[in-house]
């Protein structure tokens, strides 16, 4: 079981790109309605798949550099990083079952 953790411009590289475990990053902002809808789904997936997947949350208002570097233009954007590289990207609200299916397709 793994609780989501916050990352920012200074911690992203070590916590996400340097992770041996795949990391699903939730790019969000507090004013974003769809972000608030997807938040409990992403958190539940992090708790349920904690052995094989970590979940990080990045507030794009506070970490504009990372959002720009990874071309995050719409939120919520969920990017799955594996071995320091982007392995999957989903934009907009995702139902839990659909997001789990997509993650499982990437992770095998």
* Spans of all domains in the chain: 5-107
The angle subtended at Cα 27 by Cα 91 and Cα 65, nearest 5°, is: 120
39 is catalytic: no
pLDDT in tens, 57-75: 999 999 999 999 999 999 9
pLDDT attached to residue 1: 54
Say if CB 47 and CB 1 are below 8 A apart.
yes
Q: Which residue among 9, 11, 29, 32 is the active-site one?
A: 32
**What is the SS3 assignment for 9?**
coil
Phi-psi region of 4 (alpha: psi -120 to 50; beta: other; left: phi over 0): beta
Q: Is the backbone of residue 58 left (phi > 0), alpha (psi -120 to 50) or beta? A: beta
Q: What is the pLDDT of residues 2-35, one digit of tens each?
A: 788 999 999 999 999 999 999 999 999 999 999 9
Superfamily of domain 5-107: Glutaredoxin (3.40.30.10)
The whole-number average pLDDT for the span 27-46 is 95
pLDDT exceeds cutoff 70 at 39:
yes
Question: Of these residues, 7, 35, 42, 79, which one is catalytic?
Answer: 35
């Amino acid at each position: 079981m793994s609780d989501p953790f916050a990352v920012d411009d200074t911690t992203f590289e070590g916590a996400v790109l340097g992770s041996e475990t795949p990391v699903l990053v939730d790019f969000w902002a507090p004013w974003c309605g769809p972000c608030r809808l997807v938040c409990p789904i992403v958190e539940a997936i992090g708790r349920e798949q904690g052995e094989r997947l970590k979940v990080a949350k990045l507030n794009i208002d506070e970490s504009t550099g990372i959002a720009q570097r990874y071309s995050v233009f719409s939120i919520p954007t969920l990017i799955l990083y594996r071995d320091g590289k982007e392995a999957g990207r989903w934009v907009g609200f995702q139902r839990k079952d659909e997001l789990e299916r997509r993650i499982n397709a990437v992770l095998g």
